[in-house]
């Protein structure tokens, strides 16, 4: 466990997640940044409160953590193409990413991580759950770990209807949609920690490479249930100015859609990753 002198780190659950206090993300020096990065790697997802970040300041912080990239389906806000608006309006029933998933696993190089900043939140509801995929792998039997270590999974955006946004549905109605597909190891090794994590998800993973969907389904369905067991998870309640930063290489997340009739507006930045190994 890392030792922190410049920030306050309070774990939120036994499996993963920590709130970081005593920091203004618009004004951090190199030593504070190094502690934030260490806490992120240790806890997999970190949370900050009361951050009054302009889009420019949000981008500046994101650039210290990695390389911001444009999201494949959603146009960024004006002046900041890498910052997308994640919005659910009062009359809408579907939310963005409304299922357990790892972000854009259908890309050849899925993102390293994602940041979400709350601009407007409902009076209640709208929490986000996170799940530790190190634990999901480590709690499997040694024999199943051995079997999975030799498998690759086919991930496709065509399966991701429930994770798409209002903009995507409108675009696809016009016939201009594009599907992405990529094969990745079912068990990936984190490039910084060296730990192994389960890397399939019910939103994007269609089958094992070399197998049909029917052949793949029984084992995939077991893994989908296993990897989000309550003891592997934490839950975060948003307030305006809250920021979450998760490691996409070893977590999944699930935005809970329980605030119909209310407005929720978030800004999100995605950070470039490498090809899973």
Catalytic annotation, residues: 101, 103, 253, 268
How far does CA 53 lie from the centroid of its chain?
20
Residue found by looking up tokens 């959603």 in the block? 74
Phi-psi region of 56 (alpha: psi -120 to 50; beta: other; left: phi over 0): alpha
Report the DSSP beta bridge partners of residue 129.
235, 254
| Torsion of Cα atoms, 36 then 41 then 43 then 48, to 10° | 30
CA distance 117 to 198: 27
């Amino acid at each position: 466990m890392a030792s922190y002198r410049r920030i306050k780190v309070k774990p939120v659950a036994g499996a993963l997640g920590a709130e970081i206090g005593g920091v203004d993300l618009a004004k951090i020096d190199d030593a504070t940044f190094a502690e934030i990065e260490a806490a992120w790697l240790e806890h997999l997802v970190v949370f900050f409160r009361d951050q009054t970040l302009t889009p420019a300041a949000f981008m500046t912080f994101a650039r210290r953590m990695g390389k911001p990239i444009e999201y494949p389906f959603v146009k960024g806000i004006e002046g900041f193409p890498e910052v997308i608006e994640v919005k659910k309006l009062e009359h809408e029933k579907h939310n963005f990413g409304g299922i357990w998933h790892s972000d854009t696993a259908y890309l050849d190089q899925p993102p390293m991580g994602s940041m979400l900043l709350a601009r407007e939140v409902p009076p209640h509801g709208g929490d986000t759950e996170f799940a530790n995929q190190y634990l999901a792998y480590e709690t499997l039997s040694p024999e199943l770990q051995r079997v999975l270590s030799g498998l690759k999974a086919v991930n496709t955006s065509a399966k991701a209807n429930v994770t798409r946004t209002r903009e995507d549905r409108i675009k696809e109605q016009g016939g201009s949609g594009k599907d992405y597909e990529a094969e990745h190891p079912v068990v990936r090794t984190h490039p910084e920690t060296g730990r192994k994590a389960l890397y399939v998800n019910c939103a994007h993973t269609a089958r094992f490479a070399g197998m049909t969907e029917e052949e793949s389904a029984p084992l995939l369905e077991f893994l989908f249930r296993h990897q989000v067991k309550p003891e592997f998870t934490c839950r975060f309640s948003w307030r305006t100015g809250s920021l979450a930063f998760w490691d996409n290489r070893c977590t999944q997340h699930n935005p809970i859609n329980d605030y119909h009739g209310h407005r929720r507006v978030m800004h999100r930045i995605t950070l470039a990753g490498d090809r899973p190994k």
